[in-house]
Structure 1
Amino acid sequence: MKTSCAPKLEDVKAPISEPEEFSVSGTDTIPEKWWTSFEDPNLNRLVNQALETNLQLAGDWEQFRAALAVVQREKSFLWPDIEASARAAISRPEPDFAGGENMQVGLSASYEIDLWGRIRSGIEAEKFRAQASYFDYQAAAMTLSAETSITWFQLVSARKQLALINKQIETNEDIVRLIRARFTGGQIRAVDILRQEQLLESTKDQRIFYETNIELLRNQLSVLLGRPPQNESIFPADSLPKLPPLPETGLPLELIRRRPDVRQAYNLVLAADRDMAQAIRNKYPRISLNLEGQMRSNNYNSLFQDWAYTLAGNIVAPLIYGGRLQAEVDRTQATKNQILYDYGQTVLISFREVEDALIREQNQKKRIEVLQKRLDLAKKTSDQLKTEFLNGLSDYLEVLLQLDEQQQLQRDMIEAKQSLLEIRISLYRALAGDFGYEPPENSQIN
């Protein structure tokens, strides 16, 4: 039985102004499993493993299951509470009982009539919280897939950096041998040899950094996969994947209906709305029924011969509670408003994340173009200075400085391409909805 004595549930709109379209949009459709856009089989395998074996994600799923159990607990209040009782006693002395035995068996039932929908409001609130917990799980799965992808590309990039630094070390060692030979012929100063050896040691130091980084990233990836780092052997690929075409951003309002973190915040607002409705209905009278039946005897043989029952109806109406019922209404209303503003903030952040990723990707592409031009010029300049040095037309210090700049630009280029992939991952994460992943033991909210 329901009445309209409290506010009905309505669609909730974020307290923000109407958003315009995103500044940039592509034409490529984002697949449900967005990481497959990179066409990297190793990445696909790692993300799938992480979703199946990550311990934190498994814990988030158990949190959702706990929320479902709370829903079932609240739904139980719509049914009568039935209890059975049995009692056996012996009295000494025995003035009233021939055999001294006192046997009682009974059943009792109590039921609250949900006249104003108070219980149903509590059930609806917990359903919305369970739904929010489910979307929180989906958001965690999205975060895990992004972290796994980023860590994998960082690992691939670190391996490319290590391969590059090894080539640079070979180059610097060859140059040391070359200028030592020229030194014996009196064509170069000793200080030039020392400077080149300094550059050589500097590149060796870089090699230690990348070797360490590779091992740390392997450990990080192992933990994401839910495995002990010392048990896992992960071998990264030799090259970074090609950047996929820019995806279609769609309309901002579509993003609100798609992103799991936004949907989670939305369901928390609905739950707070039902909490407020329940607080309002707590101010109304409660009607309950109680039924009790009992059989009693002095001995086992006659226990089931006599019985009695009692049926009672109760009505409790709050009169004077010192204002605490209204205070609870005020509290739940303020909480609802707070969660509504949090929801609006979540929506704004989702818009910002899309715009940030679009801006960063455009500028990162420009930066890579500039880096490529700088690298081409650095190589030409380095070759020219080497020729002039070999012909005695320039000082070796110029050659050394240019070589150092060229090698640094080569490392910067790998880092820039890796950053571009990470920016694209952040864009996919900002645009994509939940990809429907659930553990084998699926649960439903009814």
Structure 2
Amino acid sequence: MNSHLSTGWFLTWLLLLVLQLSGSGCAGKESAVKLPTQSPPPFSESGQAPLRDFWWTTFDDQELDQQVDIALRGNFDLEGALQRILQAQAIARREASDLLPDVDGVALAESTVRTDSPNSARWVLGLDASYQVDLWGEIGSRVDAQWLRASATEADFNVVALTLSADVARTWFALIEANAQIELLDEQIQTNLTGLKLQEARFGLGQIRSADVLRQRQLVESTREQRVVVLSRIEVLEHLLAVLQGQPPQEASYSPGAQLPQLPPLPETGLPAELLNRRPDIRRDFLALWAADRDLASAVSAQYPRLNLAASFTTVAESPENLFREWVFSVAGQLIAPLIDGGQRRAEVDRNVATVRLRFTEFSQTVLIAYQEVENALVREQYQLQRIEKLETQAKLAHQASIQLREQYLIGETEYLDVLSSIQQEQSLQRNVLSARLELILNRIALYLALAGDFDPRQAYPLANIPLEYVDGVPIEIIEGAPPVIVEQLPEENDIDE
């Protein structure tokens, strides 16, 4: 009896010692993500027009709206991003299953044949259950991390959808500009052909040299060559638009017209802190950062002892007709405490600390790039408007100079080479004005893309109902808009500063 008591006290003392050693060898607390209260400076410029839910509708082009809608419903990259959401959701559900007990049905039938004794048989039927108690939140932190990754995957879906809408709009307006270039080139070809007829008539009368006729023919062929280049660009753009919409490019054909839209009013940029909550790429990286933080919490908790429970409820008999007569119910508990693992768990904590810091730098860089994209779009639009004004002025002056040089050439005061150079410069400026107007629209698209608007692709695709932001059931918001600061409280022996 005394021996049994001594053994019990020894086991109790040993268990307490294990708990103490395990606790002293673990990281003291989980890492925390804190956001500073200081807001970033406002953007350099802002308009008054509110951002629409679907930003491309600001151009008031119903055909563009239709093309974007087709792309959102047919693009394969977007469909792939949707499947990644469902995949991440399934992984999160799989991890969450560890919070519940496992129950298995057991059925066994065996027969033993012996040469020196009667044969024997055993029939077993029952249930086995096992459950790991989440004492320190290891499993819960792991589940949180997976739900956060699922939410980050959904944010990445929004990134793909937003980028797709911008690609369709860019391609559509590039097609319009290319058709406008074709119309302009056709006019220029007709003008140059008219000039060629006049030169050939004058050459027949002996009034000019053959070189002037050849130069005019070269101008006609040069303009035709430009038309061939634009026709090639139109077909390439049509192929691109078809692929964006999930359609084969072989028979792609569109009729977008040849009139570029007027630039809509400048949208309201809002505060930088609001931008952080609007942009899906920032939300994606923020959720990835928070998921890494939950992984770190799980790795820290893995250093503590774990408690496993098991139970079984079975019936055993030597023949099937005797089943269900006697039942055996058993319960067991197992406490496992890590003692020596060669530094494996400590290394896993250090790896997760580095991962959190890596995700933090990625998130911070994404925030800075978002600010840069908005500022770049605002600056480029401002100077592009000035550039278009200068180009239009140059085109008017070149037209006036071309008229005067023609008059001077007819009276013999200047060479035809000067007239030809003036015509070439005028026609080149006319084409440059169209290209500059397209660049202005493309830059506005870049601004809408940088501001992200309130575009929610789930209105086109019914997504699974998973949390957009998930940490212990509490929604996350990047309130002040500045990058978070990682404050880590880890063992001093690792010499990791906060």
Fold shared per TM-score above 0.5 = yes
Does structure 2 conserve the Cα–Cα contact (< 8 Å) formed by 1:138 and 1:434? no
2:35 to 6, 13, 31: 13
State the SS of the aligned residue for 1:244: coil
Following the alignment from structure 1 to structure 2, what is the Cα–Cα distance between the partners of residues 323 and 154?
59
Separation in 2 of the partners of 1:97 and 1:54?
Answer: 72
CA distance in 1, matches of 2:117, 2:95: 46
Q: Name the structure 2 match of 1:114.
A: 134
Using the alignment, how far apart are the partners of 1:42 and 1:356 within structure 2? 29
Q: Which amino acid aligns with 1:30?
A: L
Q: Is the 8 A contact 1:386 1:399 kept in 2?
A: yes
- How far is the alpha carbon of 1:104 from its aligned partner? 1.7
| 1:410 Cα deviation after fit | 0.8
- Residue in 1 aligned with 2:200? 180
CA, structure 1 residues 116+96, in 2 after alignment: closer, same or farther (shift >3 Å)? farther
Q: Is 2:451 the counterpart of 1:431?
A: yes
Counterpart among 239, 242, 262 of residue 222 in structure 1: 242
After TM superposition, list the pairs within 5 Å mapping 1:51-90 onto structure 2: 51-90=72-111
Opposite residue 92 of structure 1, the aligned amino acid is V
- Which residue of the other structure, out of 328, 334, 340, is the alignment partner of 1:308? 328
- Aligned pair in 2 of structure 1 residues 413, 153: CA closer, same or farther (>3 Å)? same
The residue aligned with 2:356 is 336
Determine whether 1:48 maps to 2:69: yes
CA–CA distance in structure 1, aligned partners of residues 229 and 239 of structure 2: 16
Q: Distance in 1 between matches of 2:270 and 2:396?
A: 38
Distance of 1:6 and 1:129 partners within structure 2: 26
- Give the unaligned 5+ runs of structure 1: none
Q: 3-state SS of the aligned residue for 1:188?
A: coil
The alpha-carbon distance between structure 1 residues 97 and 152, as it changes in their structure 2 partners (threshold 3 A), is farther
The code of the aligned residue for 1:203 comes to T
**TM-score w.r.t. structure 2 length?**
0.86
Task: Answer with 290-299 or 241-250: which moved more.
Answer: 290-299
Q: What SS does structure 2 have at the residue aligned with 1:301?
A: helix
Q: Distance in 2 between matches of 1:437 and 1:140?
A: 9
CA contact (8 A) 1:353 1:430 kept: yes
Corresponding letter in the other structure for 1:249: T
Q: Is 1:290 aligned to residue 313 of structure 2? A: no
1:384 and 2:407 equivalent? no
Secondary structure in 2 aligned to 1:107? strand
One-letter amino acid of the counterpart of residue 35, structure 2: K
Among 198, 212, 220, the residue aligned to 1:192:
212
Q: CA deviation at 1:441?
A: 3.3
Alpha-carbon distance, 1:18 to partner: 4.9
How far apart in 2 are the matches of 1:6 and 1:123? 21
1:95 to 1:228, Cα distance in 2 relative to 1, 3 A: farther
Task: Tell me whether 1:444 sits opposite 2:450 in the alignment.
Answer: no
1:393 Cα deviation after fit: 2.1
Change (3 A) 1:123 1:35: same
Q: In structure 2, what residue type is equivalent to 1:162?
A: I
Distance 1:253 1:268 in 2: 19
Measure the CA separation in 2 of the matches of 1:433 and 1:7: 39
* Counterpart pick for 1:368 among 388, 393, 398: 388
Deviation at 1:19, TM superposition (A): 2.2
CA contact (8 A) 1:111 1:289 kept: yes
Aligned to 2:44: 23
In the TM superposition, what whole-angstrom CA distance separates every residue of 1:201-255 from its partner, at most 9, and x where no partner exists? 1111111111111111001000000111124332122211100011111111111
The reply on whether 1:237 has 2:270 as its aligned counterpart is no
* Code of the aligned partner of 2:80: G
Contact 1:20 1:252 in 2 (8 A): yes
Q: Distance in 1 between matches of 2:173 and 2:116?
A: 89
CA gap of 1:94–1:421, structure 2 versus 1, over 3 A, is farther
Rounded Cα–Cα distance in structure 2 between residues aligned with 1:397 and 1:382:
12
Taking the aligned partners of 2:33 and 2:222, their CA distance within structure 1 comes to 62
Is the Cα contact below 8 Å between 2:55 and 2:453 reproduced in 1? no
Residue 166 of structure 1, CA deviation? 1.2
Q: 2:417 aligns to what?
A: 397
Fraction of identical pairs, as percent: 42
Q: CA deviation at 1:25?
A: 1.1
Matched, 1:416 2:416: no
Partner Cα separation in structure 2 for residue 329 and residue 112 of structure 1: 21
Aligned partner letter, 1:13: L
Q: What CA distance in whole angstroms lies between the structure 1 residues aligned with 2:86 and 2:132?
A: 27
Q: Is 1:155–1:217's contact at 8 Å kept on the other side of the alignment?
A: yes
Change beyond 3 A, Cα 1:409–1:95: farther
**Distance in 2 between residues matched to 1:445 and 1:8, nearest whole Å:** 25
1:441–1:20 Cα change, 3 Å: closer
Amino acid at match of 2:427: Q
Asked whether the equivalents of residues 122 and 278 of structure 1 are also in contact (C-alpha less than 8 Å), the reply is: yes
Matched, 1:250 2:290: no
- How far residue 307 of structure 1 moved from its aligned partner, in angstroms, is 2.5
In the other structure, the counterpart of 1:153 is 173
Does the CA-based 8 Å contact 2:391-2:433 persist in structure 1? yes
Distance 2:159 2:49 in 1: 23
The residue aligned with 2:24 is none
The 1-side partners of 2:356 and 2:363 are apart by 10
- Counterparts of 1:79 and 1:409, CA distance in 2: 72
Query: Aligned in 2, Cα 1:434/1:66: closer, same or farther, shift over 3 Å?
Result: farther
- Say whether 1:144 aligns with 2:164: yes
Measured after TM superposition, the shift of residue 174 of structure 1 is 0.9
Match of 1:125 in 2: 145
Determine the C-alpha separation between the residues in 2 that align with 1:394 and 1:436: 63
Give me the CA root mean square deviation.
1.9
Structure 2 partner of 1:359: 379
Runs of 4+ in structure 1 off by over 4 angstroms are: 5-12, 94-98
The answer on whether the counterparts of 1:142 and 1:434 sit within 8 Å (CA) in structure 2 is no
Deviations 1:87-144 (A, max 9, x none): 222322366665x433222211000111111110001111111111111000111000
Shift of 1:17: 8.1
Task: State how far apart, in whole Å, the 2-side matches of 1:393 and 1:141 are.
Answer: 62
Following the alignment from structure 1 to structure 2, what is the Cα–Cα distance between the partners of residues 123 and 428? 36
What is the DSSP-based 3-state SS (H/G/I as helix, E as strand, rest coil) of the residue aligned with 1:105? strand
Which protein has greater RCO, CA pairs closer than 8 Å, 6+ apart? 2
- The answer (yes or no) to whether the contact 1:139–1:434 under 8 Å persists in 2 is no
Structure 2 vs 1, CA of residues 197 and 130 (structure 1 numbering), >3 Å: closer, same or farther?
same
Aligned amino acid, residue 193 of structure 2: E
Equivalent-residue separation in structure 1 for 2:202 and 2:38 (angstroms): 72
Q: 1:258 to 1:441 in 2, by over 3 A?
A: closer
Which letter maps to 1:67? A
Cα separation, 2, equivalents of 1:231 and 1:177: 39
